[in-house]
Amino acid sequence: MDARVVFALAALAGASLAPIVTMADDQPKLSCVKDFTFSQEFLAKYPKAAAACREVVMKNGMKWARFDANVTKVKGKNITADFLDQYDQKIRTLTFTATPDATVTVDGKTEKFADLREGDALSFWVSEARAGFYAKPGSLNSGKFAVVNEGTAAR
């Protein structure tokens, strides 16, 4: 192989790895299993929580676990959502309420709770320090959703 081709390939390989190394240095990837401890209160209500955890992030010195769910019903101020495990299988159904101006993450974008529709893909966050569902990591003082119906656990 020509030396210029080898050099070009080596340069491309090194350039593509640089962002990965930089990202890893800035924020180490945390594991739902190894790096996050669910409270006993939370596990008593949601024993399959670890199977539904998608990622863990640090925010304001606290660990937060992300869960994904699909909206299955919108009725008045309540939304019902199916929580999904790591294989996108329904693991639990819960019904929430929140103030109309509360925001949620839908398909990676911020939207108002009042604007949710059936089929929306939501993300919820849980703090390692408290049992509860929040709109985003670091929002202990706002953005908490009230569970109005524990729903059913998938078998």
6 & 48 share domain: no
45: its two tokens: 């209500």
**Residues 37-64: pLDDT tens digits?**
998 888 999 999 999 999 999 998 899 9
The band of 26, judged by pLDDT with boundaries at 50, 70 and 90, is low
The pLDDT value given to residue 22: 31
**Residues 70-108: pLDDT tens digits?**
999 999 889 999 999 999 999 999 999 988 778 888 888
The pLDDT value given to residue 13: 40
The band of 153, judged by pLDDT with boundaries at 50, 70 and 90, is low
Output the CA–CA distances (angstroms, integers) from residue 145 to 19, 25, 91, 96, 105, in the order listed. 36, 33, 19, 6, 13
13 & 82 share domain: no
Distance, CA of 76 to CA of 37 (rounded, Å): 34
The pLDDT value given to residue 135: 84
Domain coverage including residue 141: 40-149
- For residue 33, is it within any domain? no
127 & 57 share domain: yes
70 & 18 share domain: no
12 & 60 share domain: no
